[in-house]
């Protein structure tokens, strides 16, 4: 069959046999976030384009090259390229800045960037992210990093390295920008066109350029960590002390600058080498000036985001365990119209009790029904025909062991089935 229309490049389908991998990450993300006091939020898939121009930064690759923007009746909207800007807009617009601080919020959502698709980098991708708003203390930085580490450990990931840096505040960055301008000025004829435009506006963006030529020039550039003011330096030293107290191993990487303009002071990444070039599975940091930049009062904040697709790739490469896919509890095989009517009643009752129950809806023979039950890995099967209706009894078959148990089709059926099912499933879990 020739498919006339295929999914867009840079997107992925998630079919039923793989969805349990997503459920694993989403379940652990919610459990860990809520254990630290974070509450879930949901934000629109698209926002006013100006939100991202003001927050992400006009000189960033995201804004210059990667955003999906549409104009509808003279209004300009953009599919969100990341979650922080929308989360901060939600906080400001819904009065959460008037609530007790800090605000602890998390989200699981799709994002969109027009990039060259490759393993671990898609045009539609999904993030688990969180924001802590209202604390300027470095202990908040350590708390957020600790949560990220706890989540990574809960997934069973190994060989994940934490790298941290400080990119200072506007005060010390101004001096750093001058040093960068002086450094790049002597090689500006070799810079790519994009970086040349950044030289005066935001030379730190040159450090994040993917061009091999610009990367080579940047390799010997001055380091922001050498230009930190006293406050930023003290903040960073305290963070390192808190991480040591938490027994969280880290490496200071003075070349981490992050790709978005709203970051200040602490930036961090969790990196793996198990999925090739796209090895950053978590990126985050502090953005104390963003709320003020969007029209609010000066409010400290920080957060992180993790790419769910990259997490799945890493878990697969490391052989991590995922939640077991659910299985059909009981497949009911009717033989005749009268039996079908009785099965409809039984199925309804068991579903009300929370069981996954299926029965034939396509007119298969009994043999074909048993093959189907085997293919869907049903725990139990039960055949119902005229003999079973007359005797008011049927045989419940454990598909793993072949063991058959007689069960009466009376008012105690649901209670008896539960006891048999629980015992059978417990035995199977022990064998596994």
The model's pTM: 0.89
244 and 310 housed in the same domain: yes
What domain range is 409 assigned to?
Answer: 330-420
100 and 126 housed in the same domain: yes
pLDDT at 63: 81
102 and 233 housed in the same domain: yes
162 and 65 housed in the same domain: yes
Q: pLDDT above 70 covers what percent of the chain?
A: 95
356 and 245 housed in the same domain: no
pLDDT in tens, 184-219: 988 888 889 888 888 888 888 788 787 888 888 888
ω into 102 cis (within 30 of 0): yes
Q: Is residue 115 part of a domain?
A: yes
Whether the per-residue pLDDT at 426 is higher than 60: the answer is: no
What number is the average pLDDT over the span 263-272?
94
Q: Is residue 337 part of a domain?
A: yes
pLDDT in tens, 352-362: 999 999 999 99
> Which residue would you say has higher pLDDT here, 60 or 75?
75
Alpha-carbon distance of 79 to 8, in angstroms, equals 16
342 and 257 housed in the same domain: no
> Which residue would you say has higher pLDDT here, 338 or 204?
338
Q: Is residue 100 part of a domain?
A: yes
pLDDT at 87: 98
Alpha-carbon distance of 102 to 131, in angstroms, equals 10
Q: Is residue 284 part of a domain?
A: yes
pLDDT at 207: 85
Q: Which of 272, 289, 318 is the last residue of a domain?
A: 318
Q: Is residue 57 part of a domain?
A: yes
Q: Is residue 67 part of a domain?
A: yes
pLDDT at 275: 66
310 and 365 housed in the same domain: no
Q: What angle do CA 30, 33, 39 make, to 5 degrees?
A: 85
Q: What is the CATH number of the domain that holds 110?
A: 3.30.930.10
348 and 242 housed in the same domain: no
240 and 360 housed in the same domain: no
pLDDT in tens, 395-423: 999 999 999 999 999 999 999 999 988 87
Q: Is residue 58 part of a domain?
A: yes
138 and 106 housed in the same domain: yes
pLDDT at 429: 44
Question: Which DSSP state fits 207?
Answer: G
Residue 276 pLDDT level (bands cut at 50, 70, 90) = low
pLDDT at 432: 34
Residue 431 pLDDT level (bands cut at 50, 70, 90) = very low
Number of structural domains in the chain: 2
Phi-psi region at 221: left, alpha or beta (left = phi > 0; alpha = psi -120 to 50):
beta
Q: Which of 283, 318, 353 is the last residue of a domain?
A: 318
Q: Is residue 109 part of a domain?
A: yes
What number is the average pLDDT over the span 262-288?
87
Lowest-confidence pick of 38-42, 89-93, 408-412: 408-412
Q: What is the CATH number of the domain that holds 359?
A: 3.40.50.800
278 and 402 housed in the same domain: no
Distances (CA, A) of 211 to 180, 193, 200, 299, 333: 18, 11, 19, 35, 63
What is the average pLDDT value for the chain, to the nearest integer?
92
258 and 377 housed in the same domain: no
């Amino acid at each position: 069959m020739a498919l006339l229309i295929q999914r867009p490049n840079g997107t992925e389908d998630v079919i039923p046999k793989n969805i349990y991998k997503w459920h694993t990450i989403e379940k652990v993300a919610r459990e860990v976030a809520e254990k630290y006091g974070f509450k879930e939020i949901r934000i629109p898939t698209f926002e006013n384009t100006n939100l991202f121009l003001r927050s992400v930064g006009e000189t960033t690759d995201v804004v210059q090259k990667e955003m999906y923007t549409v104009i509808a009746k003279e209004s300009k909207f953009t599919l969100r390229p990341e979650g922080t800007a929308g989360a901060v807009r939600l906080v400001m617009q819904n009065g959460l800045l008037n609530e007790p601080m800090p605000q602890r919020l998390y989200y699981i959502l799709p994002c969109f960037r027009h990039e060259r698709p490759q393993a671990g980098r898609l045009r539609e991708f999904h993030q688990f992210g969180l924001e802590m708003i209202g604390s300027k203390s470095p202990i908040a930085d350590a708390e957020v990093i600790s949560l990220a580490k706890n989540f990574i450990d809960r997934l069973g990931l190994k060989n994940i390295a934490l790298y941290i840096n400080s990119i200072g505040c506007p005060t010390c960055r101004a001096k750093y920008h001058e040093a960068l301008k002086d450094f790049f000025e002597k090689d500006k004829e070799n810079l790519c066109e994009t970086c040349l435009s950044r030289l005066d506006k935001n030379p730190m963006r040159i450090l994040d350029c993917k061009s091999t030529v610009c990367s080579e020039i940047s390799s010997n550039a001055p380091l922001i960590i050498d230009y930190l003011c006293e406050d930023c330096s003290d903040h960073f030293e305290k963070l390192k002390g808190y991480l040591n107290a938490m027994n969280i191993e880290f490496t200071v990487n003075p070349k981490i600058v992050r790709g978005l303009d709203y970051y200040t002071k602490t930036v961090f990444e969790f990196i793996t080498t198990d999925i090739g070039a796209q090895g950053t599975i978590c990126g985050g940091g502090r953005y104390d000036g963003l709320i003020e930049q969007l029209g609010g009062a000066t409010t400290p904040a920080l957060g992180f985001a993790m790419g769910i697709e990259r997490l799945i790739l890493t878990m697969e490469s490391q052989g991590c365990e995922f939640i077991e896919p659910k299985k059909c509890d009981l497949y009911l095989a009717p033989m005749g119209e009268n039996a079908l009517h009785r099965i409809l009643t039984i199925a309804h009752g068991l579903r009300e009790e929370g069981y996954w129950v299926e029965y034939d809806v396509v007119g298969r023979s009994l043999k074909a029904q048993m093959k189907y039950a085997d293919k869907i890995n049903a725990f139990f099967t039960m055949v119902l025909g005229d003999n079973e209706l007359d005797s008011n009894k049927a045989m419940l078959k454990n598909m793993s062991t072949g063991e058959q148990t007689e069960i009466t089709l009376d008012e105690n059926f649901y209670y008896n089935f539960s006891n048999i099912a629980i015992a059978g499933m417990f035995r199977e879990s022990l064998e596994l």
